[in-house]
Structure formats: structure tokens, C-alpha cells
Amino acid sequence: MLRCDPMVSIISGRSLAVRAVARSVDISVGAKLLPGVLSVTAGSVDVISFLGFGGLFAAHITGNLVILAAHIVTGRAASLALILSVPVFIAVLAFTRLVAAGLEETRYGSLRPLLALQFVLLVSLLAVGVAAGSGLNPAAPTIVVAGMLGVAAMAVQNALTQISLVGAPATAVMTTDVTRFMMDVGTLLFPRDANRVADASSRARQTWPAIVGFTVGCSLGALLEVAIGPWSLALPTGFAVLALALGFSIEGKV
């Protein structure tokens, strides 16, 4: 009589799940390109907000937490945008999840509506940023509003990669991506199990475009912010248009 080892079943199930997830982001060219495009968007928004909005990280909320904690401990005043960034990010994440749940109940895909929501937020960020102009005090109300629009847009992006792009790498948190990529490279350099090697190879192919995209976004965003100020926000807005187009190119309800 055959007996099934529960641990073997769990491990095998996880391996199969990883491969299934990996395939879910390889369904079309648009699905393969979208994480890289979103990473360029996040990188450019993050560096432009940091340079133009008084050191605010729109995408890396962890950075805002670190700076805020440092200000509190040292007794230095923290900017309103820095204080608001964490609760705004959390609130928009919750709102995005509710929207996605509603779309799932009506059997509509969530990817395209969430990409459209991010685009609207980035267009609003561009409009407010250009209207505010450059050289304003980071505490100015228009700068605070612009910063929160950037934080909201990045919250939507973080949520949609979890909800609508199953198996895709993070597009705004490079610490996770770089760690996962290097671990997978290590697995490929020291192969012991064929299934693990296949999973690592698949993940590495999906992860490196996000890392490169974020780096490119940061570089271009910094150059443009120095050169043209708030108009540099047209860069992530343009990539948001491209992301939305790729979303519509993906077949099926996603």
C-alpha cells in the first residue's frame, strides 16, 4: 500500500505552484514587458519626488519611515508630506484592494482599471507639479498635494502587481528584486535539482527587466528633474500611457 509523505507533497505542490505562477506572467508579450515599464515609472517618480519635493520617496515608503524615525529621535521637525506619506500609502492600498474586489465580483479584470487609475493619478501629479513650479518650499500646500498624488500612484502600482500580475516581480521595491535575482543566480551557478533550476531560471528572466527598468527610470528622472524641473513628471506619465496600452494588449480578462 502506497503512502504519501505530507512534506514531499507540500514541497512538490509549492514547486508546481511556482511554475504555474511563473507561466501566468508569460502569457503574452505585453505581460512580459509590463513589469519593466512599471519599474521605469516607479524609478522616475521616486527620484523626481525626492529631488523636487524635499526628500520625499513616493515609491519607497520604507525610506520615508526611516527618515521620519530619525527626525523624531533627533528632535528635528519632519515635513507634512513625510508624515502623511505612510497613512496615505496604506489608505490607497486598502482602497485599491476594495476596487479590485469589486471588479472581481462583477467578473471584470482588475489590471486595466488599476492601470487607468494610476495614469489619472500621474496626470494629476504632472498638472499640480507644473502649476506649482520649481523652487517652492517643500512645506507649500501644492507640493504636499503633489507628493501625496505621487505616493497614491505608487500605492496603486504596488497593489496591482500583487493583485493583477500574478508571479510578476516587484516593480517599486528593488531590495526584494535584487535579493531574489542573486539567490536565483546562485541556484543556477550551483545546480542540484532540475526543478529548482527551472524555477530559478524563470524567475531570473522575469526579475532582471524590473531591476534594469527601475535603474533607467531613476537615471532619466534625475537628469530631467535637474534640466526641466516639474516638467520631468511627463516621463512617468508617458510610461503610464505605455503601461495602459500594454494592459489592453494582454489577452483575456486581467
Would you say residue 239 lies in a domain? yes
Measure CA of the first residue to CA of the last residue in the chain; give whole Å. 44
pLDDT surpasses 90 at 1 = no
Q: What is the pLDDT of residues 168-185, one digit of tens each?
A: 899 988 998 999 999 999
Between CA 18 and CA 22 the distance in angstroms is 6
Would you say residue 242 lies in a domain? yes
Share of the chain above pLDDT 70, in %: 88
Q: Which domain covers residue 61, as residue numbers?
A: 29-249
Would you say residue 207 lies in a domain? yes
pLDDT surpasses 90 at 144 = yes
User: How high is the pLDDT of residue 23?
Assistant: 40
Would you say residue 164 lies in a domain? yes
Q: Which pTM does this prediction carry?
A: 0.84
* C-beta separation of 15 from 199 below 8 A: yes
Domain count, the chain: 1
Would you say residue 133 lies in a domain? yes
Between CA 164 and CA 170 the distance in angstroms is 12
Q: What is the pLDDT of residues 190-208, one digit of tens each?
A: 888 888 889 889 889 889 9
CB atoms inside a 10 Å sphere around CB 167: 20
Would you say residue 190 lies in a domain? yes
Would you say residue 254 lies in a domain? no
Would you say residue 21 lies in a domain? no
